Chain A
């Protein structure tokens, strides 16, 4: 197994192109190295992207944040401003593993690992984040909900890497939130995860909203029906009931050791209500 640590995105893309199916990108390595260790993967070349400066930066431009794909969870949390603008994204990324894992794990890796239960992904989808993807033909931007297709299957090519996530500029009275259900308080994989991002008008009416669910389908889902439920309304109990129903209706889960289909469908509604309430309180400046 070879190890390469390119200093630029172009070098990383060239190395990936040359490696073909034998190449694997490593950011934090918290999923990749476990898969190598347990012989799930046997890559010929590991391409470590942590040495590429632009992938390690968080920059703000006209209110939009560009978060490098190899920024760690710990670095996200320590950023002076990101958490106040995108609390849901930061809290979701910080649910991935332990303090030790947070020191290495990245949102780029969380997405590219291709797990339907990845915690940061529903939060990014709810945020309307775009993934910036670099490949031999240059760069393109793809909505985060379009990156994963199925467990371990992505829409991005073998010779492409995610370089950053772009979180759009926020109008006033906007916020987001993420919650997951697990049977303990820490260190577990989501049975269901839910992210909500919303904006309120001056009169308290919801003017924009996105809701995404994790671990209830073959990939994290954007629930477009949630937008129709929330936008144009004041978010009250009746609206929250409808939101929960829309979340449940979008689920197409499997039964597994972490939860049954029936349980996941029910919990999706509970989480959708709770997460929307938290995002609402944050947008109103109460939290």
Chain B
């Protein structure tokens, strides 16, 4: 069985890879492309650690086959900072101490950015529901929610 030849865009860069049908996008990102910022948690779509965007839509990369990325535009945590300059969400996660072990953090950042791209002024309730599919076992979520609200305010120029 020959591998699939996939052409895709990852964080704006044209990328090609070969994959088997049963390799998920998460497998491809981590094991072939060295993009290990996207984390593997549950592998069943419950924890959100593997969150990426596909054509701007937030998804779990563990619930998508690598071959499905053909012709799509993928966004991962590696595309979030511009060189050395962190995204406001990343800055606020640091200043609010919104992480401890850090495994869930890339997923939270990608998910939070997808929310703010769509809704620059979410209520706290909207933030909590949007992020309900991202699990953190360390922080208790309050610091994460505060960091997202603060980043949103800063990005609006408030």
Contact = CB atoms under 8 A, between A and B. Distances in A.
Given A34-B44, A98-B132, 5 more contacts: A28-B63, A29-B63, A99-B132, A100-B60, A101-B45
B64 A187 contact: no
B87 to A, nearest CB: 19
**How many A residues are at the interface, by size bracket?**
20 to 34
Given A3-B67, A29-B64, A101 B133 contact: yes
A153 B21 CA distance: 26
A99 B1 contact: no
Interface residues of B, number: 32
Residues of B contacting A: mostly: mixed
Contacts of A72: 57
Nearest to A98: B133
Nearest to B42: A34
Contacts, number: 81
Contacts of B115: 99
B65 A99 contact: no
Given A1-B22, A74-B57, A100-B60, A34 B45 contact: yes
Interface of A: 1-3, 28-30, 33-34, 36-38, 46, 48, 50, 72, 74, 97-101, 103-104, 185-187
A100 to B, nearest CB: 4
B51 interface: yes
B67 to A, nearest CB: 5
A101 B62 CA distance: 11
